[in-house]
Structure 1
Amino acid sequence: MKRTDGDRPAGSPTTADDPPDIDDVFEELEELAELVDSPDERKQVMETMQTLRRSRSGRLVGHLRDTFDSRDVGEALVGSFVFGIPMVVEEGTLEVGAHIATHPLLLGVTLAFGATLVYGILHAVEFERIREDMLFGVVSVRLVTIPLLATAMGFGLMTAWGRVDWGTPLIAAGQCLVTSTVMAVGASLGDVLPG
């Protein structure tokens, strides 16, 4: 299934200086997986894609393994902790959390910004290509687990270390959410950075 000039997107001429890259190979393999007739052939194409993914090296941002396992959880927890400790001990976190707790729009913007950063980090390492890493074939395990780990750690540390007063639950939740948002960014970086 050779790509022809007519198959290339507009503005992407084929030249000697513009050879196909690894993304082109993945696109071709995905097309092939849709065209093959038998489940065995489809499985073989998917295994080839997995092998190609594992063989990729020299990524500037990082890499992902084929499944989100206990090692990934550990990396995410370490990243979350490293990013979160300054937030937990810093008084400014409490002030920011108290402020956004009384401004729902700012709270929503903060959470959306954090979620966008986490998604962007994972998207940079093409998390959506790992089909074995999907819950019910719909959503990535990483995209669900990383924010949950960070939220649990953020709320847990802020509470256990007496940084929040749950007598004022709205303010305490705002303070914990600020911390958890930063921790989620750290968790996603901890998962994807090569080590």
Structure 2
Amino acid sequence: MTQMSDAKIVIVATDGFEQSELFTPLEELRKAGATVHVATLDGNAIKGWDQDNWGDSVGGDLKIADVNVDDYDCIVLPGGQINPDLLRVEPDALHLIQNFVSKGKIVAAICHAPWLLIEADVVRGREMTSYHSIKTDLKNAGANWVDQEIAISNGIITSRSPEDLGAFVSKIIEEVKEGKHPRPNAA
């Protein structure tokens, strides 16, 4: 068991993150007592996307390349179309996700962020959900796609959209409290 006051969580994102999908977990996980850092490609501020326009910025606490997996209990991957599409070609981001999975840490991805899980090759054989437009991408990568607000497979949490943020954050808290999730490698 992990107390939320002892939990450390890293949110990994770049410009074009869906604003609510970064800010809601950031604020709610901090309210729950966790230490939450934002990792960006260069460690600097990034700008969100809010529905049809650029939104607010959030400061970066560190570079994605400098995240030490052993320092964190969980990685949160916000969606938006732009953010995960930019990150899925970044070796440091993909390596980080693979390390979280291999070490049994909690991985939480919402909306289009499962694109990162596909690119990191960690979806095969797992039950997952996502924004409906990438359902086929997940299926083609070997995931069992379901249309529900939360899908969880051995500590890998996925959600569909901003409408599911309440359930998404609640499940992150629940899973972090449970501690490490030893898991088989993706099939």
Higher RCO (CA 8 Å, separation ≥ 6 residues): 1
Regarding TM over 0.5, the answer is no
TM range (shorter): under 0.3
TM-score (norm 2): 0.24
TM-score (norm 1): 0.23
**Going by fraction, where is helix more abundant, 1 or 2?**
1
Who wins on radius of gyration, i.e. which is larger? 1
